[in-house]
Structure 1
Amino acid sequence: MANALIVRPRTDLLSPTSAGRAAQYVRMSTEHQRYSIENQAAAVAVYAAQIDLAIVRTYRDEGRSGLRIQHREGLIELIDDVRGGRADFDHILVYDVSRWGRFQDIDESAYYEFTCRQAGIKVCYCAEEFDNDGSMIASIVKNLKRVIPHQEVIFLDETDDKVSPMKAKGVAELGICGAAAAVANAVYNATGVRVRDYPVTLDKHLDRLPAVS
């Protein structure tokens, strides 16, 4: 799956007969990322062929985080061209919602898309299961994808005997990781003894309990 590619079911690459004009925007954070610039461009090309669009311009950001627009020269140039009336296309093709950006404020992501829409340019997310048509369902799914960060599972070489024999470490799993701390806090509130190493057991409390007169 290292170079997995997701495209829509129809994969014929026939040349469009009455093509509209589109720009593509591609972004990759690091060279180790699952979807390379080339894979994104290939999926975008398939999508463009399916809906009779000719890709006339490419904007790209390589090795750039999606958390902010700073240093993303490709996206900055794209938005500047749209605002300045220099865009000679009516569609922007992006692999998926995350490639447009993982902005910490999802309104920022929406703002750049709205800027394009105001100029009469539609942003299309080629690998998503929804059409970005402004419908309620599309809006809900799109905003969920903006909020939920991309997650990957990494299997560790070493065994962490403090957590699990399955070699799993809790990252961003507050519902699980917070339970032990909550128990330790409850014991502290009841006894006045703070135990900072797990497991929280009776023997760690007995010699530290206050004397009873």
Structure 2
Amino acid sequence: MGNALVVHAKRLPQSQKALRAAQYVRMSTDYQQYSIENQAVVIATYAELHKLTIVRTYRDEGESGLKIENRGGLTELVEDVQSGRADFAHLLVFDVSRWGRFQDVDESAHYEFICRKAGVKVAYCAEQFDNDGSLLAGIMKNIKRVMAAEFSRELSAKVFAGSVRLAHRGFKMGGPAAYALQRRLVDDQCRPKGILTLGQRKSLLTDHVKLIPGAPNQVEIVNWILHEYLRHKSQAAIARELNERGMVLLKDSSASP
């Protein structure tokens, strides 16, 4: 991967930036087909073929492409280009979708336009077309942007439908167990495989997690709380009595109050 150099205070003249390039790489949280290392290899090959020197790397690792929030790499890139601090004339990107899978397909085009307006040429190193401003390039980029947006919509729908189906079957869909509950790991036939402690996660796609009663003393406390509440005791009074008894309600079922 190219070196991520410190931004120089002195701005380089255009003639000195002609063969200098930056790369932008991103790996999302929901689409891991291309790792940042794989992107960098393709970009480095492109740079070598076109006699470009990669002097800067902007990266967003583990960030969704649906929005620019929390994407420090892209934000820094845009700021450098717009402010004139960019000491390169080329920006190398793996493909069109690396900008993001924005629901508004014009958003990814907007970031490319910012670069082009500042004199920075954008190249998509893994695409089968040259980003040369031609009619073909414009058509292909728009098709790719629409495909990226549609992919994110379909993926969201599939993930939601899958989560609903698994929840209907009684499986827990992530997060720690509530007080007086614990997480049991089961296989695809719902056969128990063990208890997950705080911080542990399932490792196999075919495994699932079910909630079961936790420590008996915690279950007893929850039953007492419900009993008192049904007797019309206020929540404040229940909390006060628990505090007086020194009860600390922890989510970790392995810890006793």
Common topology (TM > 0.5): yes
Report deviation, 1:32.
6.5
The AA in structure 2 aligned to 1:118 is K
**Superposed displacement of residue 30, structure 1:** 2.6
1:188-210, Cα deviation, whole Å (9 max, x unpaired): xxxxxxxxxxxxxxxxxxxxxxx
Paired position in structure 2 for 1:167: none
For the residues of structure 2 that align with 1:32 and 1:82, how far apart are their CA atoms?
28
More RCO (CA 8 Å, sep 6+): 1
The alpha carbon displacement at 1:95 in A equals: 0.4
Normalised by the length of structure 1, the TM-score is 0.60
Q: Is the Cα contact below 8 Å between 2:99 and 2:108 reproduced in 1? A: yes
Alpha-carbon displacement from aligned partner over 1:93-140 (angstroms, at most 9, x marks no partner): 000011121111111111111110010001110000010011000000
What's the counterpart of residue 20 of structure 2? 21
- Which has more radius of gyration? 2
* Residue of structure 2 equivalent to 1:210: none
- Secondary structure of 1:148 counterpart: helix
Partner of 1:40: 39
Superposed displacement of residue 65, structure 1: 0.9
Q: CA deviation at 1:31?
A: 8.0
Q: CA 1:43–1:85 in structure 2 vs 1: closer, same or farther (change >3 Å)?
A: same
Question: Secondary structure at the residue paired with 2:103?
Answer: coil
Which residue of 2 is the match for residue 171 of structure 1? none
Distance in 1 of aligned mates of 2:48 and 2:29:
28
2:30, 2:64 within 8 Å by CA — same for their partners in 1? no
Aligned residue number for residue 65 of structure 2: 66
2:98 match = 99
Any unmatched runs of 5+ in structure 2? 1-17, 156-257
Query: Structure 1, residues 136-179: CA drift from partner, whole Å, max 9, x if none?
Result: 000001110000134899xxxxxxxxxxxxxxxxxxxxxxxxxx
Q: Which runs of 5+ in 1 are unaligned?
A: 1-18, 154-213
CA RMSD of superposed structures (Å):
2.1
Match of 1:117 in 2: 116
Q: After TM superposition, list the pairs within 5 Å mapping 1:1-213 onto structure 2.
A: 20-30=19-29, 33-149=32-148, 150=151
Post-superposition offset of 1:73: 0.4
Q: Give the letter aligned to residue 63 of structure 1.
A: G
Alpha-carbon distance in structure 1 between the residues aligned to 2:65 and 2:29: 11
Task: Answer 1 or 2: which has greater helix percent.
Answer: 2
SS at match of 2:123: strand
